Structure formats: C-alpha cells, structure tokens
Amino acid sequence: MTPGDLRLDIVRDDPADNRYLECVVEGTADYLVSGDQDLLDLREHGDVPILTPRTFHDVPRAGGRLNQRPSSHQARTAESRK
C-alpha cells in the first residue's frame, strides 16, 4: 500500500490517471504497465518506464529492469549500503 499523500497533475486529459503516477512514485515502482493511451504517451515518469502489457512481457527478467537501469529505489538502497 502507498500512503496516498502525493498529488500530481501530469495527465490533464484524464486526471484520474494521475493516481497511477502517484502510486508509481510513492511505491517506488520499477514499471507502470498500462493499456491507457494517455499514460503510454508519457513513455516514462521520472526514471520509471510506462509500458504496454506486451512490452512488459518481453522485458528480460534477469536484471528486472529495461535496459538494466537501476531504479531510483535500488540506487538509494545501494548508496545506503556503502
């Protein structure tokens, strides 16, 4: 569960889509998987790719990230271990 404290106004054509982006940020997601065209048009939010289900299915599972980029959460975790 995410706290639900964050409010974004990124998707103007469908403001309800902003709730998904808020969850991405608060939940430190690695991906947002959606068929919603307004979200897909963004392509990414921060460093989180927004993918269709088909594209997500094709993501290599070894590293768990598209293009093997560490998520900001993973980077923070790695930095705190130093």
Q: What is the pLDDT along the chain (82 residues), one digit of tens a residue?
A: 667 788 999 999 999 999 999 999 999 899 999 999 999 999 999 999 999 999 998 887 655 555 544 444 444 444 444 4
For the chain, the domains span 15-80
* Integer Cα distance of 65 and 10 in angstroms: 24
CA distances from 36 to 5, 32, 40, 71, 76 (A): 23, 11, 6, 23, 30
- Is the pTM higher than 0.75? The answer reads no
Cα–chain center distance at 46: 8
